[in-house]
Amino acid sequence: MVGGGYAGVSAATALAEAGVPVDLLESRGFLGGRVYSTAPSPSFPAPVDNGPHLLMGCYRETFKLFKRLGAASDFHWVDPLALSWVSPGGARTSLNCLSLPAPFHLLLGLLSSSAFPGSEKLKLMAALAPFAVRPFPLPPKIRTVENWMGFTRQGPTTRERFWTPFCRAVMNVPPAVAPIRALGGVLNRVFFGKRRDSALVVAAKPLSEIAFPQALEYLAARGSQAHLREGVQKLNLVSGPFGLETASGKKFTADVLILALPVRSLEALWGGAGLPPPGEEARLGKSPIVSVHLILEKPVLRGHLEGFAGADFDWAFNRSANWGLSGPTQYVSLVSSGDPDLAAKNEKEILIRAWEELQSRFPALAGTQPLHSKVTKEMSATFIWSEASGAFRPKTATPFPNVFLAGDWTDTGLPATIEGACLSGHRAAQKALAFLK
């Protein structure tokens, strides 16, 4: 097993659960891949997640992993779904779904919501209705989320508070790029299954403390091992059994190989073996996530998170509430998904923009400055799922019967989310078990 992110950990622990011993090779000194936390430092005296990750109740593969590792209780569940948005000037609007079966919880919640004008509510419900059943009955010429918003005549408030932030958060690309059928698959999972599927799920601890320490113990208890700081440098698939050599010179071979790597790393490794890569970075592209972490003099956010409609930063996470931090200050993290222009700015410019948006929505912050601040960028957070790039996502299987791929960029049918990564890892483990029988 090569790669210790969510895809690799899902595959490795699923195999270990089935009684198959696993060697998991990870180039970094920790598991988690792009999902990790940094420790407090003199410049920022609190843990920092590389990017706030919001899960949803429909993340079945993700919670299968957490249950396997005994980490399923490390989360806050907002069920029924409840969201609030803060506008410039401080006005709040909300959507509060009801304790009813899906999709009635959403429909009645929308009707009573203060977040959308009455004239737009029915249009929003009509635009969501086609995603209740598969295949989705959409006109063939409607390709992107932007096309769908225009075709269904979505109003400006609905676009600003629902379609755009939901699309950016889930797909990590703007509505003009995101395929509507891809986003439709997510809408189907979120709103048209069980009510609990649409729940917001927020980590109650920094991300590095959830699942990954437990994964090390889980593997060790089942005769498996995670080899940290053992990045694979050479791969031999051409002659005889496959072989791996790490940067430290260690050599590994086994009956089955799962490569759970980012596409760029896989290209380099596969190319070094003299083979054409199964994925192509140039065709899949890359899309960023930018986060700004602030410790404020006084609390302003309510609940676990709030939306900033029409802003560069769609969501603000209340880390004080998320992690149960006490004290007179408030720790918040603002997140911007799929905005390469913002990501290209320097940290000072990003911080200024985030502080302007925060102050415009919370007048109580006038005349104050953040006590501490930190900017994190993940420039290659996800691939770009567009109409063109979707065709280049590779399958789990490879030309070699005992070599399989995993990763959120593979052809899971889901966006590049934690759920997509876990699904890919579990699929690869199933393929490996079938080969070993």
Q: What digits encode the pLDDT tens for the residues 374-414?
A: 999 999 999 999 999 988 999 999 989 999 999 999 999 99
Tell me the residue ranges of DSSP E strands in 122-267: 200-203, 225-228, 232-236, 243-246, 251-252, 257-259
Distance CA 86, CA 92 (A): 5
Percent of all residues in the chain with a pLDDT value above 90, rounded to a whole number = 89
Average pLDDT over residues 150-155: 98
Query: What would the mean pLDDT of 108-117 be, rounded to a whole number?
Result: 96
2: DSSP letter:
B
The two three-digit tokens of residue 381, written as one number: 């957070």
Q: How confident is the model at residue 238 (pLDDT cuts 50, 70, 90)?
A: confident
Q: State residue 80 phi and psi, 5-degree precision.
A: -70, 160
Q: How many CB atoms lie within 10 A of CB 42?
A: 6
Other beta carbons less than 10 A from residue 231's beta carbon: 18
Residue pLDDT, tens place only, 356-366? 999 999 999 99
- Confidence grade of residue 241 (pLDDT, cut at 50, 70, 90): confident
Residues β-bridged to residue 93: 85
Instruction: Name the fold adopted by 6-43+59-68+205-284+386-436.
Output: FAD/NAD(P)-binding domain (3.50.50)
Considering the entire predicted model, what is its pTM?
A: 0.95
First to last CA, the chain: 18
For residue 410, which of 55, 27, 3, 67 has the smallest C-alpha distance?
Answer: 3
Domain segments of the chain: what residues? Answer: 6-43+59-68+205-284+386-436, 95-198, 287-382
**Contact between residue 277 and residue 348 where contact means Cβ atoms under 8 Å apart:** no
Whether the pLDDT of residue 426 is over 70: the answer is yes
Asked, colleague to colleague, whether 6-43+59-68+205-284+386-436 and 287-382 share their fold, the answer is no
Nearest alpha-carbon partner for 60 in 305, 415, 409, 420: 420
- Percent with pLDDT over 70 in the chain: 99
Backbone angles phi, psi at 228, to 5 degrees: -85, 155
| Three-state DSSP class for residue 32 | coil
Cα(406)–Cα(240) distance, rounded to whole angstroms? 23
Question: What is d(CA 361, CA 306) in angstroms, rounded to the nearest whole number?
Answer: 11
374 in Cβ contact with 392 (< 8 Å): no
- CATH number (3.40.50.300, 3.90.660.20, 1.10.10.10, 3.40.50.170) of 287-382 reads 3.90.660.20
pLDDT, tens digit, for every residue of 269-317? Answer: 888 776 777 767 778 999 999 999 999 999 999 999 999 988 999 999 9
Residue 171 near residue 178 (C-beta atoms within 8 A):
yes
Burial (CB count within 10 angstroms: exposed 0-12, middle 13-18, buried 19+), residue 99: exposed
**Containing H/E element for 108?**
helix 104-112
pLDDT tens, position by position, 25-43: 999 999 999 889 999 999 9
At residue 148 the predicted structure's pLDDT band, cuts being 50, 70 and 90, is very high
Element (H, E) at 356: helix 347-361
